[in-house]
């Protein structure tokens, strides 16, 4: 109506997937290629993970979450790039170990560095890039129309040629000592399995020499009493007989997915609009919970981890939750839950902002599954066994390209 | 959808469990991309221009005041048609810490850029500068904008680098 161009908004997207999880997931070897696992692994740097689930389910699994879930720690450290290459740190953490590091700064305007799987990525402006004398390639910066190009340099520090004294390595050292000299704040996470993010050893001088600030990452628990929960069972793919029915069903599903995603975000925002007791004037807000007529007021709990969180841990959390909330002895034990994560180090253009994943309860699905109409009535051991054989339904959303400034 | 006749409950502990020979034909994954959702979400902060008294700064923002400031900004930039843009106030952050006077709103997606332009160019507040309250001027700052609220709720994480 108002004829304002909004370029950023047009580039914003949300990739939604609906489907069924595999019936059995090996905790030691979870799938990597399929959604939702691909979505989780596609976001290597995550700053917030939020888990939302009914309070009833949380109280049953609370103990196992506290005991079995890996405790997280991460460190904030001020380092220059050249101190990454100092012999001790370089061999402990980059050659032998596996760490995640990300530096401060906004992609698109500042120099931003990330280190993952031994690959150091440097995003630089053109002037700095040219001064470093290293090879790189141009990237989209998303800056103003006439902004200069920006470049990314990728250095695989695990290559056999990356050793002190080698010629190519000397060039990198030179660039870090003469051009990229400033000390920046980094977040650091040690991925080796025996540490919980930071090695305990007091004699580990390679990191400790840089005076890291070690931060524990424990969940902040928020209770959301009496929240209107829309019916979630409808978010399932159904086998439709005709193509036309399938198309309308899909269109409906698309709308529902958007609405449920909005609702989940409203819960994690702690908005009073989703509370059952909310009676706001329509002048101030006309938001309503999707399918408000059928929505049930339920107590919800959300757990929020904040810190540098590796994607492997999130997969672990998902697998753990799937097992704990699987079809057990009672219907109450099987519950829906939602995990959402927000990414750090978003690129300037079409950044991957994060994702959220909603897993539906196993048991109601078993009753609705077309496994044979004759045993629909008896929701007993058969239904539980059937529910275990079939995977649980999920919806995952991946968000791309929002402009978060703060 | 076929199910196996003999029941073999899944045991998550045993990794050697045989895969069911009869395929439990799960429904295929449906994937689609949403590009133009109905709403755009904005995180806004109300800032005060000096001179401003301490009481005004600490006074919590209430929804009606916020709505009035939003309407005033839209009215100044777009006139009557601006005030017709529907605004839903989703949340007003409790006035503690750094997030003081921060609100979350949603507006119809086609109007979003107009709203952002209107809000960021507006300076309003008490016209009588010799006010006893010392209310000073106010302005809106756009902290985040996006078509999907879930991408915005937890911020960009830039504060984690600050010790």
For A250-259, what is each residue's pLDDT tens digit?
A: 888 888 999 9
Query: Across the interface, which of B63, B91, B112 has its CB nearest the CB of A271?
Result: B91
**A185 contact residues in B (CB cutoff 8 A):** 161-163
pLDDT band of residue B77 (cuts 50, 70, 90) is very high
Contact yes or no for A389 and B78 at CB 8 A:
no
Is residue A130 classed as helix, strand or coil in its secondary structure?
A: helix
Contact yes or no for A9 and B109 at CB 8 A:
yes
pLDDT at A379 over 70: no
| Phi, psi for residue B146 in degrees, rounded to 5 | -170, 160
> Rounded to a whole number, what is the distance in Å from the CA of A185 to chain B's nearest CA?
6
> Rounded to a whole number, what is the distance in Å from the CA of B77 to chain A's nearest CA?
12
| Phi, psi for residue A139 in degrees, rounded to 5 | -130, 165
Burial class (CB in 10 A: 0-12, 13-18, 19+), A322: buried
On whether the CB atoms of residues B107 and B87 are closer than 8 A, the answer is yes
A346 or A56: whose pLDDT is higher? A56
Asked if B26 has any chain A CB less than 8 Å from its own CB, the reply is yes
Contact yes or no for A388 and B9 at CB 8 A:
yes
**Interatomic CA distance for residues A57 and A55, integer angstroms:** 5
**B32 contact residues in A (CB cutoff 8 A):** 15-16, 250, 254
* Tokens, residue B55: 């009481």
**Which of A370-384, B25-39, B77-91 is most confident?**
B77-91
pLDDT at residue B6, rounded to an integer: 43
Query: Across the interface, which of A9, A76, A287 has its CB nearest the CB of B40?
Result: A9
> Rounded to a whole number, what is the distance in Å from the CA of B72 to chain A's nearest CA?
15
- The distance from CA A406 to its chain's CA centroid, rounded to whole angstroms, is 18
* Tokens, residue A192: 């080796």
Contact yes or no for B10 and A28 at CB 8 A:
no
**Interatomic CA distance for residues B54 and B45, integer angstroms:** 17
**Interatomic CA distance for residues B87 and B70, integer angstroms:** 9
For A190-213, what is each residue's pLDDT tens digit?
A: 888 666 667 665 556 567 667 888
Q: Which of residues 44-73 of B touch A (CB under 8 A)?
A: 63-64, 67
For A225-249, what is each residue's pLDDT tens digit?
A: 999 999 888 787 776 667 788 888 8
A73 or A379: whose pLDDT is higher? A73
pLDDT band of residue A369 (cuts 50, 70, 90) is very low
Region of poorest pLDDT, from A201-205, A218-222, A295-299, B131-135: B131-135
Asked if A106 has any chain B CB less than 8 Å from its own CB, the reply is yes
Asked if B160 has any chain A CB less than 8 Å from its own CB, the reply is yes
Spans of all domains in chain B: 39-145
Q: Which residue has the tokens 């309250």?
A: B133
| Phi, psi for residue A39 in degrees, rounded to 5 | -65, -40
Q: Is A390 left (phi over 0), alpha (psi -120 to 50) or beta?
A: beta
For A106-162, what is each residue's pLDDT tens digit?
A: 887 889 999 999 999 999 988 999 999 999 998 876 655 666 788 999 999 999 998
Count Cβ–Cβ pairs < 8 Å, chain A vs chain B.
233
pLDDT at A290 over 80: yes
Query: Across the interface, which of B10, B27, B143 has its CB nearest the CB of A239?
Result: B27
Residues shown for chain A: 406
pLDDT at residue A383, rounded to an integer: 63
Cα–Cα distance list, A233 to A237, A295, A367, B154 (Å): 10, 12, 11, 27
**What residues form DSSP beta bridges with A116?**
A100, A119
Region of poorest pLDDT, from A18-27, A352-361, B42-51, B91-100: B91-100
Q: Looking at chain A, which residue has its C-alpha nearest residue B142?
A: A405
DSSP codes, B1-33? ----SS-----TT-TTPPPPSS---PPPPEEEE
Average pLDDT of the residues of chain B: 78
Cis ω before A36 (30° cut-off from 0) = yes
pLDDT band of residue B91 (cuts 50, 70, 90) is very high
pLDDT band of residue B90 (cuts 50, 70, 90) is very high
Contact yes or no for A402 and B145 at CB 8 A:
yes
**B9 contact residues in A (CB cutoff 8 A):** 384-385, 388
Q: Which residue has the tokens 């839903």?
A: B88
pLDDT at residue A382, rounded to an integer: 66
pLDDT at residue A38, rounded to an integer: 92
For A64-116, what is each residue's pLDDT tens digit?
A: 888 888 888 888 999 999 988 888 888 888 888 889 999 998 887 889 999 99
Whole-angstrom Cα Rg for chain B = 25
pLDDT at B13 over 60: no
Q: Which site among B14, B102, B109, B154 would you substitute to test the A interface, given the most A Cβ atoms closer than 10 Å to its Cβ?
A: B154
**B163 contact residues in A (CB cutoff 8 A):** 76, 185, 213
Question: Where do the H-state alpha helices sit in A5-137?
Answer: 7-10, 37-41, 55-68, 81-84, 87-89, 126-132
**B142 contact residues in A (CB cutoff 8 A):** 405
pLDDT at residue A234, rounded to an integer: 79
Contact yes or no for A5 and B27 at CB 8 A:
no
Q: Which site among A285, A380, A392 would you substitute to test the B interface, given the most B Cβ atoms closer than 10 Å to its Cβ?
A: A285
Whole-angstrom Cα Rg for chain A = 24
B26 or B76: whose pLDDT is higher? B76
pLDDT at residue A406, rounded to an integer: 61
DSSP state, A172? H
For B31-73, what is each residue's pLDDT tens digit?
A: 889 888 899 999 999 888 777 777 777 788 889 999 999 999 9
**B38 contact residues in A (CB cutoff 8 A):** 258
**B147 contact residues in A (CB cutoff 8 A):** 9, 12, 14, 402
pLDDT at residue A41, rounded to an integer: 92
**Of B25, B30, B38, B26, which is closest to residue B106 (Cα–Cα)?**
B38
Contact yes or no for B88 and A391 at CB 8 A:
no
DSSP codes, A295-336? -EEEEEEEEEEEEEE-HHHHHHHHHHHHHHTSS-SSTTT---
* Tokens, residue A366: 């078993």
**Which of A100-109, A300-309, B131-140 is most confident?**
A300-309
Average pLDDT of the residues of chain A: 83
pLDDT band of residue A362 (cuts 50, 70, 90) is confident
On whether the CB atoms of residues B30 and A17 are closer than 8 A, the answer is yes
Q: Which of residues 24-53 of A touch B (CB under 8 A)?
A: 24, 26-28, 34-35, 47-48, 50
pLDDT band of residue A371 (cuts 50, 70, 90) is very low
Is residue B139 classed as helix, strand or coil in its secondary structure?
A: strand
pLDDT at residue A174, rounded to an integer: 93
* CATH architecture classification, B39-145: 2-Layer Sandwich (3.30)
Is residue A202 classed as helix, strand or coil in its secondary structure?
A: coil
On whether the CB atoms of residues A268 and A341 are closer than 8 A, the answer is no
Q: Which of residues 122-141 of B touch A (CB under 8 A)?
A: none
pLDDT at A366 over 70: no
Asked if A10 has any chain B CB less than 8 Å from its own CB, the reply is yes
**Of A339, A314, A300, which is closest to residue A69 (Cα–Cα)?**
A314
pLDDT band of residue A363 (cuts 50, 70, 90) is low
pLDDT band of residue A395 (cuts 50, 70, 90) is very high
* Tokens, residue A308: 């540098």
- The distance from CA B5 to its chain's CA centroid, rounded to whole angstroms, is 51
Asked if A284 has any chain B CB less than 8 Å from its own CB, the reply is yes
Contact yes or no for A258 and B34 at CB 8 A:
yes
pLDDT at residue A332, rounded to an integer: 52
**Of A104, A173, A118, which is closest to residue A345 (Cα–Cα)?**
A104
């Amino acid at each position: 109506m108002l004829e304002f161009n909004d370029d950023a908004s047009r580039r914003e997207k949300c990739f939604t997937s609906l489907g069924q999880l595999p019936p059995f997931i090996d905790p030691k070897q979870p799938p990597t290629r399929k959604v939702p696992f691909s979505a989780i692994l596609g976001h290597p740097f995550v700053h917030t993970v939020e888990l939302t689930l009914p309070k009833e389910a949380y109280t049953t699994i609370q103990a196992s979450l506290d005991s079995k879930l890996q405790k997280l720690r991460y460190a904030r450290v001020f380092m220059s790039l050249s101190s990454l290459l100092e012999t001790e740190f370089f061999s402990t953490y980059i050659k032998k170990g596996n760490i995640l590091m990300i530096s401060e700064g906004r992609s698109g305007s500042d120099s931003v560095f990330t280190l993952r799987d031994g690959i150091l990525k440097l995003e630089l402006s053109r002037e700095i890039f040219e001064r470093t004398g290293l090879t790189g390639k141009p990237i989209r910066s998303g800056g103003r129309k006439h902004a200069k190009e920006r470049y990314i340099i990728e250095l695989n520090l695990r290559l056999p040629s990356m050793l002190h004294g080698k010629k190519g390595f000397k060039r990198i050292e030179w660039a870090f000592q003469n051009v990229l000299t400033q000390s920046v704040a980094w977040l650091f996470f040690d991925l080796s399995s025996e540490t919980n993010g930071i090695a305990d050893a007091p004699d580990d001088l390679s990191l400790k020499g840089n005076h890291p600030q070690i931060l524990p990452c424990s969940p902040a628990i928020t209770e959301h009493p009496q929240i209107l929960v829309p019916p979630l069972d409808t978010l399932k793919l159904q086998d439709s007989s005709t193509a036309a029915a399938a198309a309308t069903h899909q269109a409906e599903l698309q709308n529902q997915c958007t609405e449920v995603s909005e609702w989940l975000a409203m819960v994690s925002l702690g908005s009073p609009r989703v509370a059952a007791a909310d009676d706001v004037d329509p002048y101030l807000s006309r938001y309503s919970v999707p399918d408000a007529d059928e929505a049930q007021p339920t107590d919800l709990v959300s757990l929020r981890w904040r810190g540098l969180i590796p994607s492997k841990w999130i997969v672990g959390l998902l697998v753990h939750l799937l097992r704990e909330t699987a079809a057990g002895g009672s219907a109450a034990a099987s519950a829906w839950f939602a995990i959402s994560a927000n990414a750090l180090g978003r690129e300037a253009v079409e950044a991957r902002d994060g994702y959220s994943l909603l897993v539906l309860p196993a048991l109601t699905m078993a009753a609705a599954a077309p496994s044979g109409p004759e045993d629909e009535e008896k929701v007993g051991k058969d239904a539980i066994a059937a529910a275990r054989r079939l995977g649980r339904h999920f919806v995952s959303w991946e968000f791309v390209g929002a402009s978060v400034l703060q | 959808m076929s199910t196996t006749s003999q029941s073999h409950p899944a045991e998550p502990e045993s990794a050697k469990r045989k895969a069911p020979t009869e395929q439990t034909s799960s429904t295929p994954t449906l994937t689609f991309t949403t590009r133009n959702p109905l709403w755009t979400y904005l995180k806004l902060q109300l800032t005060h221009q000096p001179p401003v008294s301490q009481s005004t700064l600490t006074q919590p923002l209430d929804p009606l005041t916020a709505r009035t400031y939003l309407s005033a900004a839209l009215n100044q930039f777009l006139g009557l048609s601006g005030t017709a843009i529907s605004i839903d106030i989703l949340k007003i952050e409790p006035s503690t810490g750094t997030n003081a006077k921060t609100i979350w709103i949603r507006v119809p997606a086609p109007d979003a850029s107009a709203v952002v332009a209107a809000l960021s160019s507006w300076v309003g507040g008490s016209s009588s500068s010799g006010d006893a309250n010392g209310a000073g001027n106010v302005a809106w700052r756009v902290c985040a904008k996006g078509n999907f609220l879930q991408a915005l709720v937890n911020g960009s994480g830039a504060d984690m680098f600050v010790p």
